[in-house]
Amino acid sequence: MHRRKFLTTFGAAAASALFSKPVAARGPSAVRSVVIVGAGWAGLSAAYELQKAGIDVTILEARDRVGGIIWALRGGDKVSHIGEEEQQVGFSCSNYLNAGAGRIPSHHDHILGYARELGVSLEVLVNESRGNLLLRTRAGGRTDQIRLRQAANDLRGHLSALLESALRTGGLDRTLPPAVRSRLSEFLRLYGDLSADSRFLGTTRSGYARMPGATVAEQPAPVEPLTLDSLLADVQLTTLLYEEDILMQPTMLQPVGGMDRLPLALAGRLRNPVRLHADVQEIRRQGDGVRIVYRNMATERFETVEADHAVITAPLPVLRKARHDFSRAVARAIAEANYSDAVKVAFESIPFWERQQIYGGNSYVDGDTGVIWYPSGSFQSPRQVLVAAYGWDDLGSRLAALPLGERIETARRVIERMHPGHGKDLEKPVVVNWRRVPYSEGAWIEWGATGNDPKSAIALNEGDGPFSFAGSYLSAYSGHWQEGAVLSARRVVERLTVKSGKT
């Protein structure tokens, strides 16, 4: 399973210097009005903060909603993809799918701060559970499932026993002093749950073969341990490191009722409502300011907005379609950007997984569908929304290449393999293929990947006269996280408020 890159070709320090360094104010001219292209997190938060500074703000958004990649689908919604048939969401009342961003780490202070300021209620999202499953393909194509807790704890036991053996046989005598060897040996026996003679014979941490009973005589027994070679032969073993990533560590959070609660609340605080259905056609300089022409898709009329400055937050694959007079470096950065694929296939279903003691988190599949993502917000409800397949980057590209119906059946087959007998329980399918979502045309960008020269990020972050650019893709988060969009937007706001003398 491929993991999204947190920091791509840059180390943490280099990325911080590249993306987060404040931009010096350029000249004394006052900025009294700003037009923002795009009403995702970057556009909305920029508008909100500029409004606080007393600057007049107009936001143009081509979609019929705010939020950008923050998109919650509910019963009655329609899903349109470029070149594919329209889908009608048939979920029951109160059920929803976070089609895009789906989680908030506990250290993303700007997003959590907005939730607090806007009064948006949050709940815990179970991002990882050791009770979930790892699907393995064995010799001859046979599949089986093991619990993540068994993979994690059996591996820990075997590695602890190996290191303890090295300690006992003098393999580390020249590396560690006696006192450290003694303390390490004591720790390893606890860490790996080793026997008195320092062997790994299995552990109830990995699960029960026999459950605890009603009397003291009915003690539990551990599952039979997996061998080290069978564990290491599994290509999925690295999924055990998933929640070690600081971006995936608990506690994770989500807004109650859908991720779009946050951008909707923020849009509701703006003095000037977002102009929806505004498909931008031209972005040009006019004197010291800007002139933007857009097609009002509700009236089919062309309208114009003029302002002192423009903050452009639209995805680059969409932006490249507009006529503009950007500098050569900026135009090249926009033209060459290559966004990644991401596909989600979801169903409404009875929660059969809960009968297998699965509540939230992911199970991992060794095929073309990435992960199964179980819901966290509606435990033990009679009907819930299950993300049966979520693939991104290479996995996402393979899913995206399939016809719509085949994506659905591929996801159903995966559930049948992981949860035999339950493929038939999946109803009301919805597919979101971000490559074909209008006004997105991709999920995020990986700087340093094919066609994505990191120098392009530098050019866009520097801005271009009366044009500034903002978005999570310009932050060190490389487009994956909502926090990055807010950081990027605030960087632009700081620059503009310094220019206007309103700091």
Rg (CA), the chain: 26
> 20-34, 191-205, 389-403 — which one is most confidently predicted on average?
191-205
Nearest to 470 by CA among 26, 78, 148, 34: 34
Residue 267 in any domain: the answer is no
Distance CA 130, CA 387 (A): 18
198 lies in the same domain as 331: no
CB environment 261-278: b (16+ within 10 A), e (fewer): bbbbbbbeebeeebbbbb
Looking at the fold, whether 76 and 60 belong to one and the same domain comes out as no
- Alpha-carbon distance of 31 to 308, in angstroms, equals 6
Residues 13-38, mean pLDDT to the nearest whole number: 61
Confidence of residue 367 (pLDDT cuts 50, 70, 90): confident
CB-neighbour burial class of residue 181 (10 A; exposed 0-12, middle 13-18, buried 19+): middle
356 three-state secondary structure: helix
Question: How confident is the model at residue 370, as a pLDDT?
Answer: 84
For 32-54, what is the mean pLDDT? 98
204 within a domain of the structure (yes/no): yes
Q: Give the containing element (helix H, strand E) for 467.
A: strand 467-469
Distance CA 446, CA 31 (A): 33
In whole angstroms, give the CA distance from residue 479 to residue 122. Answer: 23
Q: What is the mean pLDDT of residues 35-53?
A: 98
Could you tell me if residue 236 is inside a domain?
yes
Same domain, 360 and 413: yes
Q: What's 91's domain CATH number? A: 3.90.660.10
- 5 — pLDDT class (breaks 50, 70, 90): very low
> SS3 for 26-85, per residue?
CCCCCCCEEEEECCCHHHHHHHHHHHHCCCEEEEECCCCCCCCCCCEEECCCEECCCCCC
pLDDT for res 499 = 63
Residue 177 lies in a domain: yes
pLDDT mean across residues, the chain: 92
Q: Render the burial of 393-414: b for 16+ CB within 10 Å, e for the rest.
A: bebbbbbbebeeeebbebbbeb
**Cα separation, 51 vs 272, whole angstroms:** 9
β partners of residue 97: 73
Q: What is the C-alpha to C-alpha distance for residues 357 and 483, in angstroms, rounded to an integer? A: 32
Percent of the chain with pLDDT over 70: 92
Residues 189, 298: one domain?
no
pLDDT at 22: 41
pLDDT reported for residue 137: 75
Are residues 254 and 238 both part of a single domain? no
Regarding whether 371 and 256 lie in a shared domain, the answer is: yes
Between vectors from CA 459 to CA 454 and to CA 329, what angle results, nearest 5°?
105
**Domain identity same for 321 and 360:** no
Residues 158 and 229 in one domain: yes
Q: What is the pLDDT of residues 79-131, one digit of tens each?
A: 999 999 999 999 999 999 999 999 999 999 999 999 999 999 999 999 999 99
Q: 432 and 345, same structural domain?
A: yes
Who's near 232: CB < 8 A, 6+ residues apart? Answer: none
**Token pair recorded at residue 93:** 């009342």
Does any domain span residue 304?
Answer: yes
Omega of the bond leading into 251 within 30 degrees of 0 (cis): yes
pLDDT of 46 strictly over 50: yes
Average pLDDT over residues 445-455: 88
Residue 438 has pLDDT above 60, yes or no: yes
Least confident of 113-117, 312-316, 446-450, 481-485: 446-450
Let me know if residue 92 belongs to a domain.
Answer: yes
Q: What is the pTM of this model?
A: 0.91
Same domain, 319 and 359: no
* CATH number reported for the structural domain that contains residue 450 in this entry: 3.50.50.60
Structural domains of the chain, count: 3
Give residue 324's pLDDT: 98
Q: Residues 88, 122: one domain?
A: yes
Q: Helix (H) and strand (E) counts for the chain?
A: 13, 24
Helix segments in 362-421, DSSP class H: 393-400, 404-418
Average pLDDT over residues 369-393: 95
Q: Which of 500, 501, 406 is nearest to 34 (CA)?
A: 500
**pLDDT band per the 50, 70, 90 thresholds, residue 313:** very high
168 membership: H or E segment, kind and range:
helix 148-168
Looking at residue 94, its pLDDT comes to: 93
Same domain, 332 and 348: no
Q: How many CA atoms lie within 13 A of 22 on its CB side?
A: 10
Q: 87 and 464 in contact (C-beta within 8 Å)?
A: no
17 belongs to a structural domain: no
- For residue 230, what are the domain limits? 148-244
- pLDDT bin (cut points 50, 70, 90) of residue 13 is very low
Residue 369 has what pLDDT? 83
d(CA 353, CA 338): 37
Is residue 372 assigned to a domain?
yes
